[in-house]
A and B are shown apart, each in its own frame.
Chain A
């Protein structure tokens, strides 16, 4: 009997972040070594079937690893029959663009509906002509409800808005047969959840929870209870830490993982807000997994060392083949979160272009429109339009990394920083700010890249210019590749994890009596 490991994440998308990729690799290795990994997601999305299919098709998630979602789970569990005739009729009427009795303003994928001059309804379709939402309005053009449709054609969620401020005050979630399995109440002024009610068609008693958070905890607990062998739960993300820690009893072993830095600022020391729950769980003695040794040491000093902090650096393997390296091209692969000093990078690159006009910089990673606009504005202002390109997210990042002379990372703090390991695996040196935890631990200055004093734009420019010594740059690339082969291998990774997983019971603290 394989032991199940629940990997709890907030959400998945077809554009997986570095953290999600790292969770997928976990699933791959756990499966390979005799465990039964199951990915659990907590958010509401109508696309999970499709997302799962795509991630499996890309090879990110092995076919044998199930992906379960809390909303999908209850929708299926409480579904009594196939789509009801009422649901069908409602959908067939809704999907029509030109409904009888309305004047319709047709705007392609969206349409506005008027009755004798009064705006009453709005519809949106996706690019495949699939009906997504129907909004309804009162006579004063105030939205009163939104109905969202599942790709299979049934009404999946209805949101009702408060007439006072047009903020939601109730959501109802439906099964395929039209049964409402979940109702959530909101305070329309604060947007905080007030209660969540779960309805089982077999019982007339509603189950009440203070919020969906508690329902998510209950869901994980329900899955745990179905296991024949005591399972392991890994809280992979800040948002799942409290869901997992609130599960009562000791029917499952628990591991808490921190993929990113737990620090927001070092001087003065401010811990990351989203690490708060983790830092509260740590004193209880549950295994905590981080990706760098420096992070463990920092936590030991500031939280306490009871030998429950484990270091499991991620592993990286390149998938790039036959990619030509442009020795004048710098790349920067990042998640562009708040700690990313992009403007300093662009500023430094202006100095680089002055020295070497053929130099280019290509930026990759998920970023908001506002951030992208701000970056492009700065690029235009510095007259770098031809030299600097902002690309956004790219699925196959290995090709990008393998094509540049160096990967430049300007984060203020980070965990292992997957983009360093990925660059090394592609034989690409990394220029990074000399910050805890990942960069300072992975890069020896002048070996597989350069460490630059954080926020020192001139030094950053100097480090980039040093890469124009082609021989030195190539030598650094060779060192980078060797580093990856020595430190970030799947073998070491699974050995580290199995040492914990195979002896998990020895690392579990006692459940308190009161």
Chain B
């Protein structure tokens, strides 16, 4: 077993502005005191993942799951810390970079070209992708006409064909229909057997529990727990139950106190 993804003290900080003029001032006058306040979307996250691990990223809304998955997927750079990903990584998200004006087919070609495929190779994999996507005739329609489920199907079909070593699935399986989800999960299981590493972001705790071997529970941008699914999900579910029992005011106070810890100058 080899470590495939290593995160060391990874932090992602965004600047927050109250107006466009503040943002412009910061951009244009680099030596002036910065006006924007900083917000740590994730802070000091350290963990490593082995080949064959399927890691569920869980946490309430705004906890930093997607920021983390984007950093692992290489879509966003980390502000500090170290991210080591062994092999090719592919991100499958609801809006996984499909161009709305292009048709499904054109999107396949475009994304395959980005992955460095030759024309011949694209022709070879095209039927497989179309078949896996279950889009049928819609493949020739512009993507803007697609439902979110159809977009996810197409994104998923393209990404799995690329046969990446590390796959990040961000909520992509929560929009499709059950049959497609099952098919996608089966594909993921096959990848798992082949020793690939998968990150799985979902609010569907059942799916996470059935599918993942380990769980990273993110809370307020920090890694609260990281460990085997049964242990961490038990604690996470207990937390969610407690959280849901709080009044709206208390929930807000909880979120605010987490957020307060993430804001700084």
A492 to B132, CA, bound (A): 58
Whether B46 contacts A307 by the Cβ 8 Å rule is: yes
Q: Who on chain A is nearest to B253 by CB? A: A513
Whether A513 contacts B227 by the Cβ 8 Å rule is: no
Whether B219 contacts A304 by the Cβ 8 Å rule is: no
Chain B 161-199 interface 0/1 with A at a Cβ cutoff of 8 Å (1 = within): 000000000000000000000000000000000000000
Given contacts A283-B231, A304-B47, A304-B214, contact A514 B258 (CB under 8 A): no
**Minimum CB–CB distance for B97 against chain A, Å:** 30
Q: Who on chain B is nearest to A283 by CB? A: B227
Most chain B CB within 10 A, of A304, A306, A513, A514, is at A304
Secondary structure call for the B interface: strand
A514 to B50, CA, bound (A): 30
Given contacts A280-B231, A304-B214, contact A285 B225 (CB under 8 A): yes
Interface size on B, residues (CB 8 A): 27
Whether B232 contacts A306 by the Cβ 8 Å rule is: no
Given contacts A285-B223, A513-B254, A513-B258, contact A304 B228 (CB under 8 A): yes
Q: Who on chain A is nearest to B239 by CB? A: A514
Whether B47 contacts A512 by the Cβ 8 Å rule is: no
Q: Which residues of B contact A512 (CB under 8 A)?
A: 219, 224, 239
A285 to B44, CA, bound (A): 12
Whether B46 contacts A279 by the Cβ 8 Å rule is: no
Q: A510 in the interface, Cβ–Cβ < 8 Å?
A: yes
Q: Which residues of A contact B254 (CB under 8 A)?
A: 513-514
Given contacts A279-B231, A514-B239, contact A300 B48 (CB under 8 A): yes
Q: A504 in the interface, Cβ–Cβ < 8 Å?
A: no
Within 8 A of A (CB), among B197-256: 214, 219, 222-228, 231-232, 235, 239, 242-243, 246, 254
Q: A303 in the interface, Cβ–Cβ < 8 Å?
A: yes
Q: Which residues of B contact A513 (CB under 8 A)?
A: 254, 257-258
Chain A 264-308 interface 0/1 with B at a Cβ cutoff of 8 Å (1 = within): 000000000000000110111100000000000000111111110
Whether A283 contacts B228 by the Cβ 8 Å rule is: yes
Q: Who on chain A is nearest to B245 by CB? A: A514
A510 to B222, CA, bound (A): 8
A305 to B228, CA, bound (A): 11
Q: Who on chain B is nearest to A305 by CB? A: B48
Given contacts A285-B226, A512-B219, A514-B239, contact A301 B1 (CB under 8 A): yes
Whether B243 contacts A283 by the Cβ 8 Å rule is: no
Q: Which residues of A contact B8 (CB under 8 A)?
A: 307
Q: Who on chain A is nearest to B238 by CB? A: A514
**Minimum CB–CB distance for B128 against chain A, Å:** 34
Whether B228 contacts A306 by the Cβ 8 Å rule is: no
Q: B3 in the interface, Cβ–Cβ < 8 Å?
A: yes
Given contacts A301-B1, A305-B47, A513-B254, contact A282 B227 (CB under 8 A): yes
Q: Who on chain A is nearest to B232 by CB? A: A283
Whether B242 contacts A283 by the Cβ 8 Å rule is: no
A421 to B225, CA, bound (A): 35
A307 to B231, CA, bound (A): 18
A282 to B225, CA, bound (A): 9
Whether A514 contacts B231 by the Cβ 8 Å rule is: no
* B interface residues, Cβ below 8 angstroms from A: 1, 3, 8, 46-50, 214, 219, 222-228, 231-232, 235, 239, 242-243, 246, 254, 257-258
**Considering the complex of A and B, which 10 residue pairs feature the smallest CB-CB distances, nearest first?**
A283-B227, A305-B48, A283-B225, A304-B227, A306-B47, A306-B226, A304-B226, A307-B46, A303-B227, A283-B232
Can you pick out 22 interface pairs between chain A and chain B where the beta carbons lie within 8 Å of each other?
A282-B227, A283-B226, A283-B227, A283-B232, A284-B225, A285-B225, A285-B226, A301-B50, A302-B228, A303-B227, A304-B214, A304-B228, A305-B3, A305-B48, A306-B47, A306-B226, A307-B8, A510-B222, A512-B224, A512-B239, A513-B254, A514-B243
New contact pairs (9) apart from A283-B227, A301-B50, A304-B226, CB-CB < 8 Å: A279-B228, A283-B232, A302-B228, A303-B227, A305-B49, A307-B8, A513-B258, A514-B242, A514-B246
